[in-house]
Structure 1
Amino acid sequence: MSEQWRIDKWLAAAGVGSRKDVKKILKKKAVQVNGTTITDAAVKINVDEDKITVNGSDIHYHPGPVYYMMNKRKGRISATSDDQHTTVLDDIDSGDKNEGLFPVGRLDKDTSGLLLLTTDGTWAHQLTTPNLGIEKQYEAWLDEKPSTEDLHKVGEGLQLKDGTQTKPAEIGEGKQEEEGYSLMITVTEGKYHQVKRMFGAIGRHVRGLKRVRMSDVALDPALAEGEYRALTAEELEAIDLDLNSKKNTLSTNK
């Protein structure tokens, strides 16, 4: 039996754009199904038999695991469900909540920025396993500018207040902003509250934190907080290349 999908959900999953983008494209009468122009986002299509075009170009997509990029908003917890708190899945449209969808890793409740979501458990595990050391880059706003010596300590890896030793981190150039002293930090671990604890170890308080990159995929600046879209084929390829490179390095070093 052929699978039926809503046209807007299918086009979004195919990487044409977010659900919001797709609805705009439909209103512009740019979508055709078997030669018939479609403007209703709720129209169902047969994914095995129907021919779908956007602005005259054929769109090919066969449903499988889903991969989303979200600009997580503050106040959401990185979980699939919670009795007391609002989760990141509460920002996913009901039509996009595929069975088994979950966040890849976690961002703290008060942290915003790039969060990946998927139904692909193997892919998620590879991105979060400590062995591969996938990079995660954050913009942090501190209460004060750290000394050069203290930034060097963070960059070299330091001991947290509970005795945990961190791996080296990459520290970018900083600047003073209204929210505080802003700088970029890239880590390859995912310890609990890691960035906050690293700066806490040198006596600095993190006022705000936003993830801007994971692996080789950066947060789409067009996504407002709480918005999401399907990862593009190019973004998925970039992540796969990074994962394969890390696995090859790990294998060589054994």
Structure 2
Amino acid sequence: MERLQKVIAYAGVASRRKAEQLIVEGKVRVNGKIVRELGTKVSESDEVEVEGVKLEKEDKVYYLLYKPRATISAVTDDKGRKTVTDIFKHIPERIFPVGRLDYDTTGLLLLTNDGEFAYQLTHPKFKIDKTYVARVKGVPTIANLKKLQRGIQLEDGKTAPAKVSMMSADESAQKAICEITIHEGRNRQVRRMFDAIGTPVVKLKRERFAFLDLYGLTPGEYRELTKHEVKRLRVLAETGNLD
């Protein structure tokens, strides 16, 4: 027996958090009856429907995408813009992005149909490192970089400590390139952090997610994660280390 929201997440319909919301809203039926209780458990023989669609089990798939610019990190977009799942139109599974990158942010993005896996990698409590390279306007002072390292106050609260270094700087042109590693995933967080110290981001790329990188890929290209990589990510989320 498994919790209903977990079964929905495993089926790739939605993240566990979103599945809980669907249950509370009365959009889930078990054996034909609406279920709103989050503690409900179901078995393999139970028939589960979400928004009128019966859950069909499909193999779990895991992809690493080099997200290009001008692409939405979503399954659909009401404005008709290109989404990351448009790149995977020939894939039969219903995949969705693990977290998000902004429309104009490029770099490493994971996609899967495994809701539980996505939850583990995106919830702040699991503290999965994500490394970005930011081209900024202006040259940050050492004092301001230390503010980012300690955590800086934003409108939605203080950020967790970050790893920050300046890779290059051009005083005459007033521009710099910085590397920053965070484990949170707030909306436009890296951009807002650099805005807070007066050096707005001009260009942003996610270079690494945990131990994964973009080696061998160009924008718009992707590859499947190996079974070993998926296992390492699970271990990292569950234990906080790869030892």
Does the pair score TM above 0.5? yes
- Listed as ranges, the gaps of 5+ residues in structure 1 are 1-62, 249-254
Pairing 1:91–2:82 present: no
Contact 1:67/1:117 (CA < 8 Å) preserved in 2? yes
d(CA) in 2 for partners of 1:149, 1:112: 28
**Of 163, 173, 185, the match for 1:190:** 185
d(CA) in 1 for partners of 2:169, 2:227: 37
Counterpart in the other structure of 1:27: none
d(CA) in 1 for partners of 2:227, 2:96: 20
Correspondence 1:139-158 to 2 at 5 A: 139-158=133-152
d(CA) in 1 for partners of 2:224, 2:174: 31
- Report SS of the residue matched to 1:153: helix
d(CA) in 2 for partners of 1:150, 1:179: 15
Counterpart in the other structure of 2:127: 133
The one-letter amino acid of 2:147's match is K
Contact 1:179/1:207 (CA < 8 Å) preserved in 2? no
Contact 1:158/1:165 (CA < 8 Å) preserved in 2? yes
d(CA) in 2 for partners of 1:87, 1:142: 26
d(CA) in 2 for partners of 1:223, 1:74: 15
1:217 positional shift: 1.5
The one-letter amino acid of 1:91's match is I
Counterpart in the other structure of 1:64: 59
1:107 positional shift: 0.3
Pairing 1:171–2:164 present: yes
What root-mean-square deviation, in Å, do the aligned CA atoms of Structure 1 and Structure 2 show? 2.1
d(CA) in 2 for partners of 1:150, 1:132: 27
**Of 196, 199, 215, the match for 1:201:** 196
Contact 2:127/2:237 (CA < 8 Å) preserved in 1? no
Counterpart in the other structure of 1:13: none
Runs of 4+ in 1 over 3 A off after TM superposition: 176-180
Percent same amino acid at aligned positions? 40
d(CA) in 1 for partners of 2:197, 2:189: 13
Pairing 1:76–2:71 present: yes
d(CA) in 2 for partners of 1:156, 1:129: 21
Give CA deviations for 1:40-95 in whole Å, capped at 9, x if unaligned.
xxxxxxxxxxxxxxxxxxxxxxx820000000001000000113111011112x32
Aligned length: 182
Pairing 1:181–2:176 present: yes
Counterpart in the other structure of 2:99: 105
- Listed as ranges, the gaps of 5+ residues in structure 2 are 1-57
d(CA) in 2 for partners of 1:205, 1:124: 30
TM-score between the two structures when normalised by the length of structure 2: 0.70
